[in-house]
Structure 1
Amino acid sequence: MSSDPWGRVDDTGTVYVRTAEGEQVVGSWQAGSPEEALAYFERKYEGLVVEIDLLERRVRTTDLSAKDAMAAIDHLRTQVDEHHAVGDLDALRARLDSLVATVESRREERKAQRAKQADEARRAKEALVTEAEELARSDQWRAAGERLRALVDTWKGLPRLDRKSDDELWHRFSHARSAFSKRRKAHFAALDAQREEARKTKEKLVAEAEALSGSTDWGATAARYRELMADWKAAGRAQREAEDDLWNRFRGAQDVFFAARGEVFAERDAEQAENLKLKEELAVEAERLLPVTDLKAARAAFRSLNERWEAIGHVPRDARPKVEGRMHAVERALQESEENEWRRTNPEARARAEGLTGQLQAAVDELRGQIDAARAAGNNARADKLAKELEGRQALLDQALKGLQEFGG
């Protein structure tokens, strides 16, 4: 018979382990000496010690879930309770009991942490909703629109709440955004209506200008053309395409009249030569406004120059195209700057670009999630197929984002 502090082997080859509850049969050993039997079962005990050491380390240093940890503890406890090892099994049971307490403590800590995170997420989303509802009443269309888009990005980065709370807050958030969009749309629809009214007014001015173009009542007609020009400026801008066409007709009618008057007043060539000199000086001043750096100031300065220009009178016919062409070039540059500013700040076009970008981004995000899920499930064939589809969607998204940059954000 052979023994050590934790076990022994009797004459029949039966191996025992000593526990607080008394000796327990470990197993039977017939293949070698008693010392070899004890050594074998002691090694099994050492294996259990190693497994418990590793489990304790995982519980302390990793994010091992409570469920998985308890399953591992139960598995080791079963091995210890089956008494197939020689060593201080009671000490191993105590370590497993302690580990259960640690896991339970970690479980409670994580539960409290999740509750804290959920509370923080709720407060954050409530704050977003409150701000969105305030922005919904704003008339700062561009700034408020950009801020609402930023709030959406912030919302997407926050954890989800319970379904009922999350849905209620999202409904308020979405309703605020919709209310703002409707108000903004109505505002710019009113601007469009104003442009349409300007178009109708200018069509009437053009009709009268064209009717007057054949008049030989030089003084009265010239005075009326000046009044028509003042009315033109007061009418505001029409839609770009209509504005250009109406302006060409309006100025063309005046040109016809003043050309005829110029022929009648050929004897005033000396005066017209002086007019040419003055207009060339104004053209130089106008050209100094380019390139446009301050559109508002440039428009005001050009209006002043144009009023002085109109007050000067006519120049010799052969010099008129060149000098007027210089002013027209400056005017076109100002109009182009104004149109560029309108296109850059056009909320409807930007909204359409953002809507397309948002749809493509959502599709890309959804495909990425499907790819991750497929790979996690071991379905690499589906993941590869989805990855090819993702390449196409990502290319479209990149193009959409590039287009969106043209709006300045």
Structure 2
Amino acid sequence: MSSDPWGRVDETGTVYVRTADGEQVVGSWQAGSPDEALAYFERKYEGLVVEIGLLEKRVKTTDLSSKDAQTAIGHLREQVDAHHAVGDLDALRKRLDALVELVEARREERKAQRARQSDEARQAKEALVAEAEELAQSDQWRAAGERLRSLVDTWKGLPRLDRKSDDELWHRFSHARSAFSKRRKQHFAQLDAQREEARRAKERLVAEAESLSGSTDWGPTAARYRELMSEWKAAGRAQREHEDDLWNRFRGAQDVFFAARSSVFAERDAEQAENLKLKEELAGEAEKLLPITDLKAARAAFRAINERWEAIGHVPRDARPKVEGRMHAVERAMQEAEEAEWRRTNPEARARAAGLTGQLQAAVDKLKGQIEQARAQGNTAKAEKLERELEGRQALLDQALKGLQEFGG
């Protein structure tokens, strides 16, 4: 008979293992010595020790599921309980019991972790839903749209909840996205309609602007172009693909008109500036006739100067009063000289002066009436011309009255 601390072999070849419940039959050995029998079953024990150690390591260091771990433990426990090995089987049972407790603890830990993750996922999804519902009311179409797409990607990366909770939250999330998409679609549809209306309005403005581009009615046409510009601004923007082309056509038509107007005005201004220069020279010639010593020669010279004056065209409006006033001053001096000569040489001066005075007074009164009528009709140019004529007649009248006073003296 052979034995060791944990087992023995009796004389019949039966192998026993010692346990807390007493000896248990391991098996029968007939093929060799008792020591060989014990060694064989001791190796079986060592095999169990290795398998239990490996399972302990897997449970502690991997994500082996509780179910698979319990199955493996149960398989090893069956082998230990079968008593087909010689060794400290009670120690193995204790290790398996400890492993069961570890697996259960890990299962509870994972359950708690899953609960935490589920709670975190719920909070994250509720936050996504709340943000999506807020974004659904936004008018920042581009930014809100991009953010909603980002929220969808975030949602896909979160764990699923229980079906009921997950479906409810997803329904709210999806509804918010749909509401935003519907509002955005309505907005851009309305915007497209407004831009189409703006396009049609601007087409009409362009057509009119182009029709006016060849006009030479400078004042009214320029005024109408200003009105068209105001209408253009009020019409709003057309679609991007039309706006630039319409504007280029509209602006181009204006440019044609205003370039032509500027050219004509520049030519007119240059001509009037040259006319002013010529008239200033003539006014200077006339002024050299003063003081009058030879009335007949002065009268002939002034008449010649005046003919050349009348042949010259318009001068700039703001320079007209000054240059014409110089000529009128010479003309008045000529008239005064004539009046003085007339009074000095005509024996019937008094009678003629009286008759002339009456005629001049009538003429002055008539001119005053014509001036008032011209101004009432808004004919400023005619009124100014009549006023210059009135100045001459008034000067004659003043001279005639002075002559009468002299004759009366």
Do the structures match in fold with TM over 0.5? yes
What is the match of residue 58 of structure 2?
58
SS at 2:121's partner residue?
A: helix
Which amino acid in 1 is paired with 2:176? A
The aligned runs of 1:172-191 (5 Å cut-off) are: 172-191=172-191
User: Aligned equivalents of 1:198 and 1:52: distance in 2?
Assistant: 84
What is aligned with 1:201? 201
Query: Within 2, Cα distance between the matches of 1:227 and 1:27?
Result: 117
Deviations 1:24-82 (A, max 9, x none): 22122222221121122112111111211221222222211111111111111111122
Q: Which residue of 2 aligns with 1:120?
A: 120
TM-score normalized by the length of structure 2: 0.61
Aligned equivalent of 2:83: 83
Instruction: Pick closer, same or farther for the CA change 1:260–1:110 going to 2, 3 Å.
Output: closer
Q: Which has the larger radius of gyration?
A: 2
- Report the Cα distance in structure 2 between the residues aligned to 1:211 and 1:268, rounded to whole angstroms: 25
Uncovered stretches (5+) of structure 1, i.e. residues with no partner: 272-409
* CA drift at 1:235: 2.4
2: distance between equivalents of 1:136 and 1:226?
Answer: 43
Q: Which letter does structure 2 place at the counterpart of 1:220?
A: P
Instruction: Letter of the 2:171 partner, please give it.
Output: H
Kindly report which structure 2 residues correspond to 1:27-46, keeping only aligned pairs within 5 A, or say none. Answer: 27-46=27-46
Bigger shift: 153-162 or 142-151?
A: 142-151
Deviation at 1:260, TM superposition (A): 5.2
SS at match of 2:26: strand
* Mapping of residues 1-400 of structure 1, within 5 Å: 1-258=1-258, 261=261, 267-268=267-268
Q: Which moved more, 1:216-225 or 1:259-268?
A: 259-268
For 1:290-347, what per-residue CA distance to the aligned partner results, in whole angstroms no more than 9, with x for missing partners? xxxxxxxxxxxxxxxxxxxxxxxxxxxxxxxxxxxxxxxxxxxxxxxxxxxxxxxxxx
Question: What is the rounded CA distance, in whole Å, between the counterparts of 2:185 and 2:171 in structure 1?
Answer: 21
Task: Tell me by how many angstroms 1:147 deviates.
Answer: 2.4
Q: Which moved more, 1:139-148 or 1:25-34?
A: 139-148
Shift of 1:252: 4.3
1:177 CA drift (Å): 1.1
Unpaired runs of at least 5, structure 2: 272-409
Structure 2: distance between partners of 1:141 and 1:12? 93
How far apart are residue 158 of structure 1 and its match?
A: 1.0
User: 2-side partners of 1:60 and 1:264: how far apart?
Assistant: 100
1:123 and 1:245 map into 2 onto residues whose CA distance is: 53
Name the counterpart of 1:343: none
The structure-2 alpha-carbon separation of the partners of 1:261 and 1:119, relative to structure 1 and needing over 3 Å to count, comes to closer
Summarize the Cα distance change of 1:61–1:267 in structure 2 as closer, same or farther, 3 Å threshold.
Answer: closer
CA distance, structure 2, for counterparts of residue 174 and residue 97 of structure 1 = 50
Matched AA of 2:56 = E
CA distance in 2, matches of 1:155, 1:230: 51
User: Corresponding residue for 1:355?
Assistant: none
State the match for 2:352 in structure 1.
Answer: none
Q: Judging changes above 3 Å, is the alpha-carbon distance between structure 1 residues 266 and 19 closer, same or farther for their aligned structure 2 residues? A: closer
Question: How far has the Cα of 1:129 moved from its partner?
Answer: 0.7
TM-score, normalised via structure 1 length: 0.61
Residue 136 of structure 1: how far off its partner (Å): 0.9
Deviation of the 1:255 alpha carbon: 4.6
After TM superposition, give the deviation of residue 249 of structure 1 in Å: 3.5
How far the C-alpha of 1:143 sits from its partner, in A, is 2.8
Does the C-alpha gap of structure 1 residues 51 and 255 become closer, same or farther in structure 2, counting only changes over 3 Å? closer
Deviations 1:146-174 (A, max 9, x none): 32222222211210011121111011001
Aligned pair in 2 of structure 1 residues 154, 8: CA closer, same or farther (>3 Å)? same
CA displacement 1:334-369 (0-9 Å, x = unmatched):
xxxxxxxxxxxxxxxxxxxxxxxxxxxxxxxxxxxx
1:49/1:174 Cα in 2 relative to 1: closer, same or farther (>3 Å)? same
Going from structure 1 to structure 2, the CA distance change for 1:143 and 1:262 (only over 3 Å counts) comes to closer
For 2:43, the aligned partner's letter is R
Give CA-to-partner distance per residue, 1:191-238, whole Å, 9 cap, x none: 222222221221221232233334332221122223222322332322
Query: What secondary structure does 2:145 align onto?
Result: helix
Displaced runs of 4 or more, over 6 A: none
Q: Percent identity over the alignment?
A: 87
Seen in structure 2, the aligned counterparts of structure 1 residues 21 and 260 have a Cα distance that, compared at 3 Å, is closer
CA distance in structure 2 between the partners assigned to 1:129 and 1:24 by the alignment: 66
Q: 1:261, 1:55 → 2: CA distance?
A: 101
